[in-house]
Structure 1
Amino acid sequence: MTLFRSLAIALALIAVFAVTRKAEAAQTYKLAVTDLEGMEELQREFARFREVLNTATGYDFELFPVNNRTAAVEALRSKNVDFVLTGPAEYVVFKKLTNATPVIGFSRPDYFSSVVVMADSGYTSLEDLKGQKVAFGDVGSTSKHLGPMQIFSDHGINALSDLEPMYIDQNVGWQALKRGDVAAFGTTNSKFMQLREKDELPPGAFRVIARGPDLPNDVLLVGPHVDQKVVDTVRNVFDSHSDELIAALLVGEENQKYQGMKFISSIKDSDYNYVREMYATIGYPQYAEFVGD
């Protein structure tokens, strides 16, 4: 009888242990990406990244599509999503509305904004552009809208009142610059280089008359409801499996902006104060909502 009872207890303990291990292995976390809309695009760009992250952490990350940045904030606040990959302009709003914290930074080389003119236009300084039409990119974009606006502000020019700002698609803005419909084109350096490379005009036909500082990193955020041990595990994996995760990230066509990137773990909230200045420059000093949503 004693032997039977001991065997029964042992089997019960084994069963409890197995259930516990299964529960631990089944820990699931939702990951959203604010730049992409719809599951199809999210899967195409991040499926391989998710696979590598799952294997390295032992967790089950599920991709969670969001229609816009505001929806991502609501999902994080309601705990329907746990991690969000987003840009610098979005970070400051997420921080204010959700108290999310950075897990890891996605450092992009040559990530800065530029103001471009035609080389034969006669415009050689930002001061020359006062009263002129200037094309900017998508409203709310860190590098194509806020960054170029801040470049003017840093030089004592109010882009909202001293210029005639136009917010248009970057490809449309590029053609408008070449036709002379706008005097200048505010964009991110990588987009400028891409457009110039594909253009039939020689590189010398364009001139950068101002550039901003390197912008803060894109960042993987985590909601305050996620256990710190999980956060530490994920952060450590980005260090120990860096090469694999970057290679997986670069499978996606839209993720080619991360070519040459490095994961940065020493991310501070103060790194994004320059972005907060950008919001004040365009008339949103509280940075409590997304511009353009």
Structure 2
Amino acid sequence: MKRRHFLSYSLLFLAGCSAIAPNPNPTSATLNIDKLRLTVTDVPEPERLLQDYETFRQELEAVLGIPVEFVPVNNQIEAASALRLNQVDMALAGPSEYVVINARTNARPLIGITRPNYYSVIATKTGQNIESLEDLKGKTIALSDVGSTSGHLGPTKLLIDAGLDPQTNVKVLMLGDEGSIEAIATGAVAAWGGSAVDYSTFLNSEEEFPIIAETPPLPSDIFMVNSQLDSRTVAALRDRMVENQERLIAALVEGESTQKYKDSELFEAQDSDYDLIRQVYEAIGEGELIEN
């Protein structure tokens, strides 16, 4: 895999850096760093980082009282490498990405960020004679992308909880967002699993596509931090972000791809919040992805 030189973007982001205002909400904990290096694990393009997260970067600077610099990464593997090599201080990641990165770096959970309506559903098509998950035994289900929390792991957890082995009792086709929707719409598969948002957007008909199961709210997206940061700095980051969450969320949803965080809340995250993801990886035979 071609490796990106993580520190080669300084010139690109110098123009985005502004004067740092004093921290408006000081806490007893101290930030023992002179800048914060931030990445977003699913945004590899520097241009998109600027477009969707620049307002958030500026607000985070004001809240913390230190410069915040973007560090683009191509994927979760590069994010893990950057955290392990102390090239990144904080990363925003999805739940699935978090457990994979945590296993490789011991990066610590800092702040969870809720996503309204973030849960998975399994739906079928009228005429398939399927009324429950148990009726899917021996049948085919279309899911979205491998590793997607809401489009793969969430629906798989529903199958597991219904007593179905996703490797033997059900044929799972990973068809992506568009392909999986097309498959259920044409009747090519017995069921579809994905996010509640995708269901509402693309299917949204209980009469034609009845939902037969749904998960509780899925684990939240998360800000994780480099394990080399000292405990006082970690506490200060957590306290200041939570105390100023209205400002930070308002700035975050200025981006086009960040509308999913509208009406979100920040909270202190715990590693155990993500055990559901680990359970599913084990059940689908991908336990090595999350082994320390």
Per the TM superposition, whether the score is higher than 0.5 is yes
Residue identity in the other structure for 1:43: L
Query: How far has the Cα of 1:282 moved from its partner?
Result: 0.9
- Quick one: distance in 2 between partners of 1:80 and 1:129? 46
TM-superposed deviation, 1:157: 0.4
SS at match of 1:254: coil
The correspondence for 2:173, drawn from 163, 166, 178, is 166
The 2-side partners of 1:188 and 1:113 are apart by 4
1:210 aligns with 2:217: no
Determine if the alignment matches structure 1 residue 87 to structure 2 residue 94: yes
Q: CA deviation at 1:26?
A: 8.7
TM-score when scaled to structure 1?
0.84
Confirm or deny that 1:238 pairs with 2:245.
no
- The equivalent residue for 1:194 is 201
- Cα deviation for residue 128 of structure 1 reads 1.7
| Cα deviation digits, residues 138-160 of structure 1 (max 9, x gap) | 10111111111111011110122
State the Cα deviation string for residues 29-66 of structure 1 (Å, max 9, x = none): 21111122211112211111101000111111111111
Deviation at 1:107, TM superposition (A): 1.4
Give structure 1 stretches of 5+ with no counterpart: 1-23
CA–CA separation in structure 1 for the residues paired with 2:249 and 2:230: 25
CA contact (8 A) 2:119 2:218 kept: yes
Q: Deviations along 1:156-200, whole A, 9 cap, x unmatched?
A: 101221122111121221121111111111101122112235xxx
Query: What whole-Å deviation, never above 9, does each CA across 1:172-229 have from its counterpart, x for those lacking one?
Result: 21121111111111101122112235xxxx5532211011222111110001112333
Tell me the SS of whatever aligns to 2:39: strand
**SS of 2:59 mapped into structure 1:** helix
| Identical columns (%) | 36
Aligned positions of 1:122-201 closer than 5 A: 122-196=129-203
| 2:276 equivalent in structure 1 | 274
- Tell me the equivalent position of 2:118: 111
Structure number with larger C-alpha Rg = 1
Which deviates more, 89-98 or 69-78? 89-98
Q: Which amino acid aligns with 1:112?
A: Y
Give the counterpart letter for 2:37 in structure 1.
Answer: K
Following superposition, the deviation at residue 124 of structure 1 comes to: 1.0
Give the superposed CA RMSD.
Answer: 1.9
Q: Secondary structure, in 3 states, of the residue corresponding to 1:47?
A: helix
Relative to total residues, which structure has the larger helix share, 1 or 2?
1
Q: Structure 2 counterpart of 1:173, which letter? A: S
CA contact (8 A) 2:180 2:192 kept: yes
Correspondence for 1:59 among 66, 71, 75: 66
- Cα distance, 1:239 vs structure 2: 2.1
Aligned position for 2:225 = 222
> More deviation in 70-79 or 235-244?
235-244
| 1:3-40 alpha-carbon deviations (Å, 9 max, x no partner) | xxxxxxxxxxxxxxxxxxxxx99922211111222111
Mapped contact 1:146–1:282 kept (Cα < 8 A): no
Question: In structure 1, what is the Cα distance between the partners aligned to 2:179 and 2:55?
Answer: 33
Give the conservation status (yes or no) of the 8 Å contact 2:42–2:74: no
Partners of 2:33 and 2:276 in 1: CA distance: 40
1:135 match: secondary structure = strand
With normalisation by structure 2, the TM-score equals: 0.84
Please tell me the residue identity of whatever aligns with 2:261: Y
**C-alpha separation in 2, matches of 1:91 and 1:261:** 19
Aligned partners of 1:66 and 1:72 also within 8 Å: yes
SS at match of 2:58: helix
Question: Partners in 1 of 2:35 and 2:123 — Cα distance?
Answer: 46
Q: Distance in 1 between matches of 2:216 and 2:279?
A: 13
2:11 maps to which residue?
none
Q: State the alpha-carbon separation in 2 of the partners of residues 45 and 207 from structure 1.
A: 35
| Local SS of the residue matching 2:210 | strand
**Aligned residue type for 1:282:** I
CA distance in 2, matches of 1:268, 1:252: 27
- How many pairs align? 261
